[in-house]
Structure 1
């Protein structure tokens, strides 16, 4: 009997290595694939778009916020992989009646590395997990050197990172996106709990100048399809901000995606 503890402190006991996995988080589905667990994955969400062929080879069990419990039950999973931010406590509680639900909680790169190591233990893929941990650590140090060489004395640019419109919503404190902004030496003007409610608060864009007047306005490619009209509207409420469409997967997906994200961030820095 093996005892393991997930990232929200739940104890799990396994007599055998789980062989049938349902994943409720797109970035974690990609990680499981990269850990050589393709054959073990039996169910995914409709948002699990990487790797591409999964949508035709794996059972779709709904979304991240609305799952089809009966479809999951019929898959007879040994374990369900969820996330504190992506999946509600109510969903996790209901799914726990089917099988163990392993919940991750990722805000920092350290949290991400812990998740990968946990999966290595959980699925007996320690060698594969260590390979990805090493890749991420190498990429992180390489990116830090790149930034130091590129902007050794530059002041930090202020940024507003938008994830939604109607109403406008941004990424604030205690989010993985905010950690990626800080990694890039950006100062998030909404990184302040006392002023903004929640991790993804609604904001009044007409007040952007007095709330921080960003140098950069980032419009994420997901989960909302921003257009040039949105870029024009938001640009009106700053003094001089440059509006940039950014790849939301690179800023918000954790797991093995970070290796690609570091390369993306280099290209982004070159264009700013």
Structure 2
């Protein structure tokens, strides 16, 4: 019997390493695959698009905010992987009636290292998790050297329309903005504040406006509309996965950020 503690402080005891895994978090599905656990994955969400072939080889059990409990029950999972931000408390409580639910909570890059290490312990793939963390540690060090000395620029990072919402404080997007030496004008306490376009300049007058590809896929007409209120700010379409997906995706993100800096 071994006991493990997840990132919300819940204790989980297993006689053997969990074998049948359901993941309700797209970025964590990708991480589980990169840890060599493809055969253990029995269920995923419709948003688990990396690697792409999983959508045709694994059972789709719903989305991140709405799941099919009967499908999940039929898969007879040993463990279900959730995330505090991605999945609702209601879903988690219902899933606990089926099997143990492991909850991650990723706000900082350090949290990301911890999650990968936790998965290594939990699923008996410590060597693989250490390799990923070592690569991330090296890439992070190199990226900090790359960004050192680059001038700080004020940014607004849009995630939603109708109503317009932006990345605020205490979330992974904001952590990666800070890592890139971008000053988020909405880093003021609220995690994902709703904003009024006409107040953007009063709120902080950004130098850069980032329009994310997810969860809302911003288009050119959105850039035009937002641009009417930001005046001198440069509008940049950014890959939302690179700013909001954690796990092993962060390795690709560092290279993406270098290219992004060359464009702005």
Which interval holds the TM-score relative to the shorter structure?
A: over 0.9
Superposed, 1:34-49 pairs within 5 Å as: 34-49=34-49
1:250 and 2:242 correspond: yes
Match of 2:231 in 1: 239
What is the alpha-carbon distance in structure 1 between the residues aligned to residue 37 and residue 31 of structure 2?
9
RMSD between aligned alpha carbons?
0.7
Measured against aligned partners, the alpha-carbon deviations of 1:182-240 in whole angstroms (never above 9, x if no partner) come to 000000000002xxxx4111111110011001000000000111111110111111231
Superposed, 1:178-257 pairs within 5 Å as: 178-193=174-189, 198-257=190-249
Q: Which runs of 4+ in 1 moved over 4 A?
A: none
After TM superposition, the score normalised by the length of structure 1 is 0.96
Secondary structure of 1:103's aligned partner: strand
Measured against aligned partners, the alpha-carbon deviations of 1:240-260 in whole angstroms (never above 9, x if no partner) come to 100000000000000000000
Which runs of no fewer than 5 residues in structure 2 stay unpaired?
Answer: none
1:10 is displaced (CA, Å) by 0.2
What is the alpha-carbon distance in structure 2 between the residues aligned to residue 239 and residue 227 of structure 1?
18
1:34 is displaced (CA, Å) by 0.2
Measured against aligned partners, the alpha-carbon deviations of 1:14-57 in whole angstroms (never above 9, x if no partner) come to 00110100000000000000000000000000000000000000
1:262 and 2:257 correspond: no
1:164 and 2:160 correspond: yes
Which runs of no fewer than 5 residues in structure 1 stay unpaired?
Answer: none
